[in-house]
Chains A and B, each alone.
Chain A
Amino acid sequence: MTREIAVVAFAQTDHRRTSEELSEVEMLMPVLHEVLDRTGLKTSDIGFTCSGSSDYLAGRAFSFTLALDGVGAWPPISESHVEMDGAWALYEAWTKLLTGDADTALVYSYGKSSPGSVRDVLTRQLDPYYLAPLWPDSVALAALQAQALIDEGYTDEPALAAVAARSRADAQTNSHAQLRGSVPHGDYVVRPLRTGDCPPIGDGAAAVILAAGERARELCERPAWIRGIDHRIEAHSLGVRELTDSPSTRLAAEKAGAFERPVDTAELHAPFTSQEVVLRKALRLDDGVRVNPSGGALAANPIMAAGLIRIGEAAARIHRGESDRALAHATSGPCLQQNLVAVLEGEPRHDQ
Chain B
Amino acid sequence: MTSEPVAVVGIGQTRHVAARRDVSMAGMVREAAQRALVDAELTWADIDAVVIGKAPDFFEGVMMPELYLADALGAVGKPMLRVHTAGSVGGSTALVATNLVRSRVHVTVLTLAYEKQSESNAMWGLSLPIPFQQPLLAGAGGFFAPHVRAYMRRSGAPDTVGSLVAYKDRRNALLNPYAHLHEHDITLEKVQASPMLWDPIRYSETCPSSDGAVAMILTDRAGAARSPRRPAWLHGGAMRSEPTLFAGKDAVSPQAGRDCAADVYRQAGIADPRRDIDAVEMYVPFSWYEPMWLENLGFAAEGEGWKLTEAGVTELDGDLPVNMSGGVLSTNPIGASGMIRFAEAALQVRGLAGEHQVDGARRVLGHAYGGGSQFFSMWLVGSEPPTS
C-alpha spacing A3/B2, complex, angstroms: 11
Set of chain A residues within 8 Å of B133, measured between Cβ atoms: 66
B147 at the interface (CB under 8 A from A): no
Q: Please, which residue of chain A has its CB at the minimum distance from the CB of B69?
A: A236
Set of chain A residues within 8 Å of B3, measured between Cβ atoms: 99-101
Tell me which of A23, A73, A132, A230 has the highest count of chain B C-beta atoms within 10 A of its own C-beta: A73
Least distance between A183 CB and chain B CB atoms (Å): 29
Residue in contact with B56 in the complex, picked from A1, A23, A61, A334, CB distance below 8 Å: A61
* A55 adjacent to B58 (CB under 8 Å): yes
Q: Mark A58-98, 1 if CB is under 8 A from B, else 0.
A: 01111011101100011111111111100010011001101
* A61 adjacent to B125 (CB under 8 Å): yes
Set of chain A residues within 8 Å of B159, measured between Cβ atoms: none
> Contacts A55-B57, A76-B256 known; A125 to B67 CB distance under 8 Å?
yes
Q: Please, which residue of chain A has its CB at the minimum distance from the CB of B102?
A: A99
> Contacts A54-B63, A100-B1 known; A236 to B71 CB distance under 8 Å?
yes
Stretch at the interface among B185-193, B238-246, B270-278: B238-246
Residue in contact with A56 in the complex, picked from B25, B63, B95, CB distance below 8 Å: B63
C-alpha spacing A235/B364, complex, angstroms: 38
Set of chain A residues within 8 Å of B85, measured between Cβ atoms: 79-81
* B241 adjacent to A236 (CB under 8 Å): no
Least distance between A267 CB and chain B CB atoms (Å): 20
Residue in contact with A1 in the complex, picked from B1, B58, B69, CB distance below 8 Å: B1
Of residues 24 through 57 on chain A, the ones whose CB sits less than 8 Å from some CB of chain B are: 49, 54-56
* B374 adjacent to A333 (CB under 8 Å): no
Set of chain A residues within 8 Å of B95, measured between Cβ atoms: 80
Residue in contact with B63 in the complex, picked from A76, A82, A122, CB distance below 8 Å: A122
* B103 adjacent to A73 (CB under 8 Å): no
Set of chain B residues within 8 Å of A170, measured between Cβ atoms: none
Least distance between A318 CB and chain B CB atoms (Å): 23
> Contacts A3-B1, A60-B130, A91-B81 known; A65 to B86 CB distance under 8 Å?
yes
* B62 adjacent to A124 (CB under 8 Å): yes
Q: Please, which residue of chain A has its CB at the minimum distance from the CB of B50?
A: A233
* B76 adjacent to A235 (CB under 8 Å): yes
A127 at the interface (CB under 8 A from B): yes
B99 at the interface (CB under 8 A from A): yes
* B255 adjacent to A76 (CB under 8 Å): yes
Number of B residues with CB within 8 Å of any CB on chain A: 67
Q: Please, which residue of chain A has its CB at the minimum distance from the CB of B245?
A: A69
Set of chain B residues within 8 Å of A82, measured between Cβ atoms: 81-84
Q: Mark A118-143, 1 if CB is under 8 A from B, else 0.
A: 00011011111100100000000000
* B96 adjacent to A79 (CB under 8 Å): no
Of residues 286 through 313 on chain A, the ones whose CB sits less than 8 Å from some CB of chain B are: none
* A231 adjacent to B79 (CB under 8 Å): yes
A237 at the interface (CB under 8 A from B): yes
Q: Mark B93-137, 1 if CB is under 8 A from A, else 0.
A: 001100110111100000000000000000001101010110000
A232 at the interface (CB under 8 A from B): yes
Residue in contact with A128 in the complex, picked from B25, B71, B238, CB distance below 8 Å: B25
Q: Mark A243-260, 1 if CB is under 8 A from B, else 0.
A: 000011001000000000
* A124 adjacent to B83 (CB under 8 Å): no
B269 at the interface (CB under 8 A from A): no
Set of chain B residues within 8 Å of A172, measured between Cβ atoms: none
> Contacts A60-B130, A248-B77 known; A73 to B67 CB distance under 8 Å?
no
Least distance between B160 CB and chain A CB atoms (Å): 33
Q: Please, which residue of chain B has its CB at the minimum distance from the CB of A255?
A: B79
* B84 adjacent to A125 (CB under 8 Å): no
Least distance between A92 CB and chain B CB atoms (Å): 6
A332 at the interface (CB under 8 A from B): yes
Set of chain A residues within 8 Å of B71, measured between Cβ atoms: 235-237
Q: Mark B339-366, 1 if CB is under 8 A from A, else 0.
A: 0000000000000000000000000000
* A232 adjacent to B62 (CB under 8 Å): no
Set of chain A residues within 8 Å of B67, measured between Cβ atoms: 125, 233, 236, 332-334, 337-338
B78 at the interface (CB under 8 A from A): yes
Least distance between B381 CB and chain A CB atoms (Å): 17
B68 at the interface (CB under 8 A from A): yes
B387 at the interface (CB under 8 A from A): no
* A68 adjacent to B242 (CB under 8 Å): yes
Set of chain B residues within 8 Å of A124, measured between Cβ atoms: 57, 61-63
Residue in contact with A73 in the complex, picked from B126, B238, B242, CB distance below 8 Å: B242
* B58 adjacent to A75 (CB under 8 Å): no
Least distance between B336 CB and chain A CB atoms (Å): 15
* B68 adjacent to A332 (CB under 8 Å): no
C-alpha spacing A99/B58, complex, angstroms: 33
B384 at the interface (CB under 8 A from A): no
Of residues 2 through 43 on chain B, the ones whose CB sits less than 8 Å from some CB of chain A are: 2-3, 24-25
C-alpha spacing A66/B372, complex, angstroms: 11
A234 at the interface (CB under 8 A from B): yes
Set of chain B residues within 8 Å of A99, measured between Cβ atoms: 3, 99, 102-103
* A55 adjacent to B56 (CB under 8 Å): yes
Set of chain B residues within 8 Å of A88, measured between Cβ atoms: 81-82
Set of chain B residues within 8 Å of A126, measured between Cβ atoms: 68
Least distance between B313 CB and chain A CB atoms (Å): 28
C-alpha spacing A234/B238, complex, angstroms: 31
* A129 adjacent to B24 (CB under 8 Å): yes
Set of chain A residues within 8 Å of B125, measured between Cβ atoms: 61
* A132 adjacent to B241 (CB under 8 Å): no
* B255 adjacent to A75 (CB under 8 Å): yes
* A59 adjacent to B84 (CB under 8 Å): no
Least distance between A204 CB and chain B CB atoms (Å): 19
C-alpha spacing A99/B242, complex, angstroms: 23
Least distance between A142 CB and chain B CB atoms (Å): 15
* A233 adjacent to B83 (CB under 8 Å): no
Tell me which of A84, A122, A237 has the highest count of chain B C-beta atoms within 10 A of its own C-beta: A84
* A66 adjacent to B83 (CB under 8 Å): no
* A66 adjacent to B244 (CB under 8 Å): yes
* B2 adjacent to A127 (CB under 8 Å): no
Least distance between B104 CB and chain A CB atoms (Å): 8
Chosen A-B contacts, 6 in total, with CB atoms closer than 8 Å, are: A61-B55, A76-B242, A80-B83, A83-B66, A231-B79, A233-B77
Which residues in A have some Cβ–Cβ distance to B below 8 Å? 1-3, 23, 49, 54-56, 59-62, 64-66, 68-69, 73-84, 88, 91-92, 95-96, 98-101, 121-122, 124-129, 132, 230-237, 247-248, 251, 332-334, 337-338
Q: Beyond the given A55-B63, A233-B70, could you list 4 further A-B residue pairs with CB under 8 A, ordered by the A residue number?
A: A82-B81, A83-B84, A92-B96, A232-B79
